[in-house]
Structure 1
Amino acid sequence: MPPRSESQPAGRTRGPARTARLSREAIVNAALTFLDREGWDALTINALATQLGTKGPSLYNHVDSLEDLRRTVRMRVIGDIIGMLNNVGEGRTRDDAVVSMASAYRSYAHHHPGRYSAFTRMPLGGDDPEYTAATRAAAEPVIDVLASYGLEGENGFFAALEFWSALHGFVLLEMTGVMDAVDTDAVFTDMVLRLAAGMERR
């Protein structure tokens, strides 16, 4: 057995744990977790690097800038929301689909407040064609359901936008505590059914 090095204390055979190997995927995943805990405005390269147990410059080997990271995070969130809406809407039509999608959307916002904030940070139209296309794609699952009410084409898109506006407004009021004294579950269900009834009449 070789003698222990004088610089190595007794009972210690390994040095401190190393930081997990960084990659773009690992950084984006960490950013998503960071968002839900700290919020959108707190997301910076240095703050995220601290969470990852490294220094800010190390992240620049995998992301070009803070804006690059934030854009990538937004695109990931949009993809997650599209997948969620497609899953809950599969095999459903009309009121059944609308209520299920609305409930899933509300649940996502409450369970992932930071990610939800990222989802609503940029306009539907803008200087980023890929992002614009992605945000419009997020409406497609709802538009598909609205087609079962006979709303198609431009009418379907605007109806989906109206539907989203109602859900977003409700979620924000809940998250800011404005409706703490109200049975929000009952109000939410009633609102969604009223929206569905309006689609039926249109």
Structure 2
Amino acid sequence: MTAARPNAPAVTKRATKLSRDGIVNAALTFLDREGWDALTINALATQLGTKGPSLYNHVDSLDDLRRTVRMRVIGDIIGMLNTVADGRTRDDAVVTMAAAYRSYAHHHPGRYSAFTRMPLGGDDPEYTEATRAAAAPVIEVLSSYGLSGEDAFHSSLEFWSAMHGFVLLEMTGVMNGIDTDAVFTDMVVRLAAGMERR
């Protein structure tokens, strides 16, 4: 057995260095585990192993943090929809995007909740512009059906409304015991058929 060195310095655990990006990333993870309503500065600080005031060196307030989280989620959703729709058109694109949207909501319930917490036409012009940008991948696909302008934008809202309603019914357990995969696929195919008729 090797004896410990008598004058060896004590090993201390180094605190995680905080940054705005690191705090936002931690908030995203927190959301999926605890939910939107549980997100507070102190709760997040506890997860990060620090105290609430330390976070205020990087975020102005809880509202600032929540807004930043929403903007990040919108960016992630836009990126995800663009990726899955790349090279696809019409029914193939609609079905693929719908499946990806539903999967995102189920895998990231807290982030999805953040995405739906503010109105599309609220008092925050940057957020309003970002939420409209989230419709861009859908509008691009709808253009392959010959839709454009306000008609395409309204159709994208109809598409989102159908997806959101279905996802909420699933997540709240209303559809337990039903083959939701089959119902979802049928719904999306009907939506695509409606685009075709337009």
Give the TM-score category using the shorter length.
Answer: over 0.9
Q: Offset at 1:28?
A: 0.2
Instruction: For structure 1, list consecutive stretches of 5 or more residues without a partner in the other structure.
Output: 6-11
Question: Which residue number corresponds to residue 45 of structure 1?
Answer: 41
Contact 1:19 1:52 in 2 (8 A): no
Matches within 5 A, 1:45-124: 45-124=41-120
Matches within 5 A, 1:1-202: 4=6, 13-202=9-198
Q: Deviations over 1:57-112 (max 9, x none)?
A: 00000000000000000000000000000000000000000000000000000000
Q: Offset at 1:126?
A: 1.1
TM-score, scaled to structure 2? 0.96
Alignment length, in residue pairs? 194
Q: Offset at 1:18?
A: 2.2
Question: Which residue number corresponds to residue 8 of structure 1?
Answer: none
Instruction: For structure 2, list consecutive stretches of 5 or more residues without a partner in the other structure.
Output: none
Percent of residue pairs bearing the same amino acid type: 82
Counterpart CA distance in 2 for 1:131 and 1:14 is 49
Q: Deviations over 1:141-175 (max 9, x none)?
A: 00000001111100000000000000000000000
TM-score, scaled to structure 1? 0.94
Q: Offset at 1:4?
A: 3.9
Q: Offset at 1:130?
A: 0.4
Which runs of 4 or more aligned residues in structure 1 lie more than 2 Å from their structure 2 counterparts after TM superposition?
12-16
Counterpart CA distance in 1 for 2:11 and 2:53 is 23
3-state SS in 1 of match to 2:50: coil
**RMSD (Å), alpha carbons:** 1.1
Counterpart CA distance in 1 for 2:191 and 2:32 is 30
Counterpart CA distance in 2 for 1:63 and 1:86 is 30
Counterpart CA distance in 1 for 2:67 and 2:102 is 23
3-state SS in 1 of match to 2:122: coil
Q: Offset at 1:131?
A: 0.3
